[in-house]
Structure 1
Amino acid sequence: MKRSGRAYSTMTAFVPHYATDRLVFHDPDPTDAPPLYVHVVDAAVVCGPGGRVLHEAPPDGCGDASIPLGSLDGRQVFALGCEAVPEGFRAVPLRDLFGLVDDETLGIAGRAVQCMEFDRTHRYCGRCGTETRMKEDEIARVCPSCGLVVYPVLSPAVIVRVVRGDRILLARSPGFPRGRYSVIAGFVEPGETLEHAVQREVAEETGISVANLRYFGSQPWPFPHSLMIGFTADYAGGEVRPDGVEVEEAAWFTADSLPDLPGRASISRALIDDWLEEQ
């Protein structure tokens, strides 16, 4: 089944960053207008004068192997890899683009970086070792020897806000900046549902159980290729005991005693801000 962007879906109250809204992934009838390009170098976005991300022509130093991302207002958009940053341009890490460009451009840039990284890391067949080639009708690479077809990697991860009365559970990972806390998150494992993943991650990392799971929203998280699926839940039992590996500290916080929180680009912050609005 062809996968489409949010241009085909209804909007929800939660509007995620790094997600496209107007980009049509598989446009059956794009216009004849000149295409647009997103240039990528080492997982960073090549920006032109004024921070421009969508370019009307490839600069010198970029290859000619482009990946179709979709169409924006009828104009086809392509990702294009560069060996080095062209003169007069600068490479901006994807995280640093947040707040510098509009959300639609940010989402297109995230899609471009993910697709180019997939293309760069799947040049050889994982089954027989033969050099792969681009598939012509979709974003994929195919092995000309054994026929294996591989698609862009997408790693689903759950993220959950747990509440106990007027308190929210926040945890600190060893990799966080000093003093930073967030809600619980973790990758979905083979053979489990999203709901099971929520319950397992909370139990493994903090020692408590949860109930009344409710879907909150989802967000592409191209660092490098996650899809965050957000939930809210209520405390059901147990004492908070950090596992000491994924979580080094965890505690219940009230609205007037919150620690340093994640940036506003992430669904983790959206989950916390949504709770704050209810207090």
Structure 2
Amino acid sequence: MLSSTITFAHAGMTAEGDNSVLYQKVSKELLDRMRQKKHVFNDKEIKEHLQKLNWNDPSSLQYLFLALEKLCLETLGMKLMTAVGGNNDKLFHVWMKEQSDWIQSSASAYANRVTTRLCCVDFCILSPSPKLTQITMLYIVFEASLKVLKQVQDDYLRTVIEKSILLAQLAAIEKNIGKLVSYSLISTKDGQNLGDHINKLCKFLAPKCLSICQAFGIPEERFPPIARDWVEYNKWDNQGEIYTHHPLTS
């Protein structure tokens, strides 16, 4: 499924601008839903799970993404309210030129939470939520691509998949480490230990990384030469990607 969409990915992103434009739309819709009480957070549940956060459990880390999403959306809402006041004429300027960071962070936090939760549901790490069926964003494509993996019975393969999900979660957390620590969603000590968790997962997954990539079924012709047989490719100085020793035609 992933390989069949690569051809259209560039055209789709170019037509829309880029992901940042999409994220603006995501944040706007989320704020509207919050005002309508359709997008709500269970503060008590989030707090309880953050107090017993398990860095080796993808389902536990879901609550950290939920807390980050809540923080970003509520902060964005308050900043807009303060800057705009009752003058809606200021809204465009504030939205486009003053609060871009929180807009992007809000949408990114939501995307991370949704995609990782769908992974956890598919691998039976979490129970499905009826609210997920209401999500109509592009991230549902990710859910569909993983449905086939529900039938994974091999314990070792399941471990590889779960650790891959966990690594993706930790990488997303690392990108947001400043907000997470400064707003006390995680402790300074946890922030300092994050790199060790990531390195441990990389050490486990590194010997299997080529097999994991090949499992996506992306046709080799989609890759640049350095992503193919890189051992053979690096036998010569190719001056970037000039096909001196690897001509397009024989």
Output the TM-score relative to the length of structure 1: 0.25
Determine which structure has the larger strand proportion and give its number.
1
Relative contact order: is structure 1 or structure 2 higher (C-alpha 8 Å, sep ≥ 6)?
2
